[in-house]
């Protein structure tokens, strides 16, 4: 077992403390609970399913909103399922997109089975090999201090992988009605008229 020191919700809270008008998409499971634990807001789009799709939702959003920062927060299992998206994002290279993988090397929700990130796969290295201009693997408190800059200000696409403690945390449950989350997000971003009229 590894000796990780970083706690996922602590580093995420610090990194996103000054998120401003950044738009945040989460991968299903722990990452959704993590973001919800920081406070629910319309600019959060939480996945409750569709494993493997968070990064591409981030790409579509980043292309549609080039003036806004788009941050995808997900786990190692969800990211591994969407690994092909690294090639697509690396080819398109949106400068306003950052992906944060909270990597505990576990499929947390299904019984904490090991993932490939603990058995050889280096997600930051994969992203780098696919053309991401900025990649980092964060293991220490000092390195975690850079996470906010990486996610919110560094020209992207950014892949920031934070190795985090495998821990049991209380579920923080955001709204789960997908239609509501989608429309609330659009109203927050586009205004009610543009978001709801054809």
Please state, in angstroms and rounded to a whole number, the distance separating the CA atoms of residues 29 and 44: 15
- List the interface residues with other proteins, window 65-124 (CB under 8 A): 65, 82, 84-85, 87-88, 91-92
* Strand positions, DSSP E, the chain: 23-26, 44-46, 70-75, 97-103, 106-107, 113-114, 134-138, 158-163
Shortest reach from residue 121's CB to other proteins, in Å: 17
Token pair, residue 134, equals: 């900025």
Least separation, in Å, of the C-beta of 77 and other proteins? 15
How far apart, in Å, are the Cα atoms of 138 and each of 6, 29, 122? 9, 21, 12
Q: Taking contact as CB under 8 A, which single stretch among the options 13-21, 54-62, 113-121, 138-146 is the one that binds other proteins?
A: 54-62
CB of 181 to other proteins, least distance (A): 7
Mask: binding to other proteins, 4-33, rule CB under 8 A, as x and -? -------------------x-x--------
Residue closer to other proteins, measured from CB, 133 or 178: 178
Q: Which is nearer to other proteins, 118 or 131 (CB)?
A: 131
SS3 127: helix
Is 55 a binder of other proteins (CB under 8 A)?
Answer: yes
Work out whether strand 97-103 and strand 134-138 pair parallel, antiparallel, or are unpaired. Answer: unpaired
Nearest C-alpha neighbor of 162 from the set 69, 63, 30: 30
Angle at which helices 30-37 and 8-15 cross, to 10°: 50
The nearer residue to other proteins, 92 or 153, going by C-beta atoms, is 92
Q: Name which of 90 and 105 has its Cβ closer to other proteins.
A: 90
Which of these, 87, 88, 118, 85, lies nearest to 104 by C-alpha position? 118
For residue 132, the minimal CB distance to other proteins (Å) is 15
Residue 37 or 85 having the CB closest to other proteins: 85
């Amino acid at each position: 077992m590894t000796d990780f020191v970083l706690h996922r919700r602590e580093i995420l809270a610090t990194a996103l403390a000054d998120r401003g008008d950044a738009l945040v998409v989460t991968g299903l499971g722990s990452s959704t609970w993590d973001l919800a634990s920081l406070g629910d807001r319309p600019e959060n789009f939480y996945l409750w399913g569709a494993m493997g799709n968070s990064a591409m939702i981030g790409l579509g959003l980043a292309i549609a909103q080039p003036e806004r920062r788009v941050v995808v927060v997900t786990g190692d299992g969800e990211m591994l399922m969407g690994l092909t998206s690294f090639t697509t994002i690396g080819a398109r290279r949106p400068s306003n997109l950052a992906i944060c993988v909270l990597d505990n090397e576990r499929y947390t929700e299904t019984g904490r089975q090991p993932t490939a990130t603990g058995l050889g796969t280096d997600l930051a290295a994969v992203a780098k090999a696919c053309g991401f201009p900025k990649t980092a693997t964060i293991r220490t408190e000092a390195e975690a201090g850079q996470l906010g800059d990486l996610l919110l200000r560094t020209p992207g696409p950014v892949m920031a992988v934070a190795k985090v403690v495998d821990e049991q945390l209380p579920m923080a449950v955001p709204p789960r009605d997908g239609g509501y989350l989608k429309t609330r997000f659009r109203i927050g971003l586009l205004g009610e008229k543009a978001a709801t009229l054809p």
